[in-house]
A and B are shown apart, each in its own frame.
Chain A
Amino acid sequence: MWDGIFTGLATAVMPFNLMMVVVGCFAGTFIGMLPGLGPISAVALMIPITYGLDPSSGIILMAGVYYGAVFGGSTSSILINAPGCASTVVTAFDGYPMAQQKQAGKALALAAYSSFTGGTIGAIILLFAAPALASVSLSFQSSDYFALMVMGLTAVAAFSGKGQVIKALMMTVFGLMIATVGVDVMSGTPRFTFGSVDLIDGVSFLLLAMATFALAEVVMTVLKGQHEEEEVQMDMAALGSMKLSKDEVKHVAPTIARSSVFGFLVGVLPGAGATIASFLAYGLERNLASAKEKLKFGKGALRGLAAPESANNAASTGSFVPLLTLGIPGSGTTAIMLGALIAYGIQPGPRLFIDNPDVFWSVIISMYFGNLVLLILNLPLIPYISRLLAIPRPILIPLILFFSITGVYLVSFNTFDIHMMVLITVVAIFLKLLDFPMAPMLLGFILGGIMEKNLSRALTISDGSFDFLWDRPLTLTIMLITIFLLVLPLLGLLRQKIYPPKGPEAALNEGEG
């Protein structure tokens, strides 16, 4: 393990990779600040840029963008009560009231310290948890892989929020359907190509990710008329001090420690992600608070800000565990990273830390640097970075549109892809209007090919019998967890009928991110 850590350290401290961390954190912070664009869109916009880099640098850049976007989302939540992404919605509950009380500087500093601690604790646990889990998963067979993928896809649906489970399952199936377009890799027969040469290779991952998460998100802001909104005018002089007193640090330290570990554990669950972690951590902290302190929640409580901030960053790190060790993404953002790794010819999974130790370890080590960059560089620069929010939307929107389109075009140099993007964007907008979540579709699309291969292998070995699903104890255990995950939303519905939700938990219905 130590050899690997040193390999990762050597790769991560290369000047170019350090620059990628810094660039990623800055770009992520800026994109994450823009209301409507979250970590998924930010990482999707980076994919074309990473194609020209080596795999380690590419993934380091994307990881930097990821935590930068989460941090940027917190900034806009605190300053203008406009969360950049779902995982920072809770940050606004107590962060914005603090800003209104002329304590925006303190709120931003606390958010940065909490994010840093959450991310660091997450990175340390990841350092030990990932190789341990990867060693165990080396014994996995195709039947276990198939079961794991079914579990991952089910988990994303199960955690997608109230009333969204069936829709998320439908979107997963839709993603799997899109993955079947093109030549079947096992038999070589074309499927759903309708005689078009452009569809022989199937739908490109980059195209689908950019159309559904970059282009569609931007177009949605135009559809809702958000481009006509006045640019935010912030009084930077009213930020106030960024210092925390000793007593305040003592007050929030246990909260940050608790929420970091809790957030990491939630993030490890495939499909749960930073959004659910932040809501749960906030709820947990409020339940632990004394009756007097409970009253402060929602009115600028330090603990109410520290808990979700630590948890969402720790969960972002935690979501790398299933990605790096099992090849199953823990969130929509890591799903995009999985696609990018596959595009590099790297198969994330138990063999990653043996076959590509530089990628595996450098990503983990760079996470620590990323958190450091956010604390040392981004925090003091926040007043200046926030000014970018003042760029008029009518100028910003065509530029983002342009980057989304050319990002795809410059990889394939085929204008058919742009027409295809428009078509997918139209479908995505329609699905968004009908409240269908997009992340399960992308996950289904990415895992579709690998899942089919493993299912085919497992069925061939078991001579066409589905016994492989319960023959091995490991496969059986995973399948039982899958069934439990499917039943979980029903149990949640039952619980809600008996104990109707009160307070912010009632708002927990978003699972993407």
Chain B
Amino acid sequence: MIITKNHIGGLIFLCLSIAYGYYAGQIPLLPGDEFEAFHARSLPFTLALLGTLFSIALLVTSRFDPKQKLRLGGHDFALVAQLLVLVMLFAVALDWLGFLVATVLFLIGGYWLLGVRSIKTLFIASVPFAVFLWFALSQLLDIYLAPGKFFSAIFGG
């Protein structure tokens, strides 16, 4: 038996709808709300029901067609994972190193991951861009960009 994209999607949405319905039941109600025509749980319960119905409909109507099989070959998941980790590190760097340094590091990291190896290109395509953007945001548009906890701890402020 071939498990197709529709079957995988249907099963995931079915689980999601059931979990959503369960948590909808945990939404606290105000006293007397249960007698109201519409309360905080009404829409979530309806959505859980609709989600379940559509998921079952997708599972029932999907054919076991080999063309619809989920094929993950040929996709560069490792590189995507590295890029997304880089994005998360950028978030951490924004807190600790501030906008300017975090931007330079993020861009250099991104170019490097995508195959740029020339040191000259890495710096030319990141440092002037980051400095220009930092200047435009903080000096021209007067947007406050925190210096980063690391620099605050060292230099104060």
Contacts and interface: CB of A to CB of B under 8 A. Distances in A.
Interface of A: 52, 166-167, 169-170, 173-174, 176-177, 180, 184, 186-187, 189-192, 219, 222-225, 227-228, 392-395, 397-399, 401-402, 405-406, 409-410, 413, 415, 418-419, 421-422, 425-426, 429, 431, 433-436, 452, 455-456, 459-460, 462-464
Nearest to A435: B5
Contact of B110 (A52, A401, A434): A401
B116 A177 contact: no
A410 to B, nearest CB: 7
A401 B87 contact: yes
Contacts of B13: 170, 174
8 contacts: A180-B44, A184-B40, A223-B80, A395-B125, A401-B83, A406-B103, A418-B87, A455-B38
Interface string B24-49: 10011110010011111011100100
B38 A456 contact: yes
Given A177-B44, A184-B40, A186-B38, 14 more contacts: A166-B54, A180-B43, A189-B28, A222-B76, A222-B79, A223-B79, A224-B74, A394-B111, A395-B111, A395-B125, A398-B107, A415-B95, A421-B87, A436-B9
A463 B38 CA distance: 10
B115 interface: yes
A397 B110 CA distance: 8
B155 interface: no
Nearest to B41: A191
Interface string B129-157: 10000000100010100100000000000
A141 to B, nearest CB: 16
Contacts of A413: 146
Nearest to B63: A163
B84 interface: yes
Overall SS of chain B's interface? helix
Contacts of A177: 16, 20, 44, 47, 51
A398 B111 contact: yes
B111 A223 contact: no
Contacts, number: 160
B82 to A, nearest CB: 10
A426 B9 contact: no
Contacts of A224: 74-76
A186 B40 CA distance: 8
A425 B57 contact: no
Contact of A452 (B43, B79, B95): B43
B54 A169 contact: yes
B23 interface: yes
B50 A173 contact: yes
Contact of B47 (A52, A176, A460): A176
A393 B27 CA distance: 47
Nearest to B110: A398
B90 A405 contact: yes
